[in-house]
Amino acid sequence: VALATSIRYALTRRAFSLKPNEPEVLLLDYPSHQRRLFPLVAKTYAMSFAANYLKMLHVKRTPQSNKTIHIVSSSFKATFTWNNMQILQECREACGGQGLKTENRVGQLKGEYDVQSTFEGDNLILMQQKCGDGSHLIKLCQKLGNCAGDLEPVKSVSKALFAEYMAAQKRNKVFKGLGLEHMNKPCPVIPLQLTSTTLRCSQFQMDALCLRERDLLNRFAADVSKRKAKGESNEQAFMMDLGKAFSDRAIFQTFVDAETTLPAGSLKDVLGTLRSLYALICIEDVSFLQYGYLSVDNGANVRREITKLCTELRPHALALVSSFGIPDAFLGPIAFNWIEANAWSSV
C-alpha cells in the first residue's frame, strides 16, 4: 500500500523546473527518486515470490521437511519484516509531509507494522532461532564425531548451515538440502572487470550470491574450530552476515524460478529487469567489499548499473504497482489527485 501510494504520488507530484518557464519535473523523473523507490519495488516482488515458495513448502510438508521449513521461515520472516519497515520508512519520506497524514496511510502503516519485527521474538533472535530445542542438530553432530560442542542450545540459521556443512565434511558426501547444493560445484569466480552484460546475467548474479554464502560458511566453520580449540565462545560477529547471505540467495532463487515459468515477451523482459535490480542491490551490500568478493571499481560498476536499471523501469512504474492488485479504497488520496486532496474544498 505504501509503495503503491508513493509511486503514484511521484507520478503526479512536480517539483522545480530545469529551465525558466518550463513545466516542473515529476518526482519520479528525478534519478535520485527512482533510486530510492525502484529497488524497493524489486524487493517487494522478490519477497512475494519467496513467500509463495514458503507457502508451498508448508502445503507440501513432510516430517522430513520440517527442519527446512523452520530454517527458511525463520530467515524469511526476519528478512521480510526488516524490509517491510525499511520500505515504509522510505515511502514515508518520499511522500514528504503528506506521508504523515493519517488519510494517506503510509505513516499509519509504519506504526502498525513495527510490531512485526518482534513477532515470534526479535529478528536478530530469529536469525539465531532455536530449531525446536536444537536436539536434532546435536544428535546429528554426535553421529559425525566429537563436534557436538560446536553447537550451543540456541541454534541459528548460521548454525543450521554449519551442521549441514559438518555433515558433508565428516561423511565426505555431497551437500543436499537448504539450497546448499551449489557447494558441490567448483567455487564461482567473479570476473576482474564487470560489464553491463555480465551484471545482468542471472548466472553471474547467482554465482555472486553463492560465492558469498559459500565463503562465509567456510569462514564460520574455520572460526568455530579455531575458537573451540581455544575454549572460546562460538558466537561470531559475522554470523548474521551468513544468515543474510543464505536469505538473499534463497529469495533470489525463487525469483529466478518464477521468471523461468514465463514465455518470452515484454512481461518476462520487465521481470528480468526487476530480477537484475534485486540481485544487484544484494550484491551492492557492504559485505561484498568487506570480504573482497568485489573490487572497489566493480562495486562502482554495480552502483552505476543499478541506476541504469531504475531508469529502464521508469516507464513501467504504474504497471508495476498496479499489479499488486490493491483496491483503490485501500490507497491514500495522494495516490490519485494530491492537489484536490489538499484543496480547501476537501477540508
Q: CB 230: neighbour CB atoms within 10 A?
A: 8
Say what the pLDDT of residue 116 is. Answer: 80
Q: What is the mean pLDDT of the chain?
A: 83
First to last CA, the chain: 24
Place of cell 557436538: 148
Residue 67 pLDDT class (50, 70, 90 cuts): confident
Q: CB 329: neighbour CB atoms within 10 A?
A: 5
Q: Which residues pair with 14 in a beta bridge?
A: 26
Residue 88 predicted with pLDDT over 60: yes
Say what the pLDDT of residue 182 is. Answer: 82
For CA atoms 92, 98, 104, 105, the dihedral sign is positive
**Residue ranges of domains in the chain:** 2-346
C-alpha distances in Å from residue 224, one per residue of 100, 127, 234: 47, 18, 6
Residue 171 predicted with pLDDT over 90: no
**Residue 237 grid cell:** 560477529
Q: Which of 21-35, 151-165, 190-204, 252-266 has the lowest mean pLDDT?
A: 151-165
pTM of the model: 0.85
**Residue 289 grid cell:** 567489499
User: What is the architecture, at CATH level 2, of domain 2-346?
Assistant: Up-down Bundle (1.20)
C-alpha span between 46 and 278 (Å, rounded): 7
Residue 130 predicted with pLDDT over 70: no
Residue 250 predicted with pLDDT over 80: yes
Say what the pLDDT of residue 347 is. Answer: 57
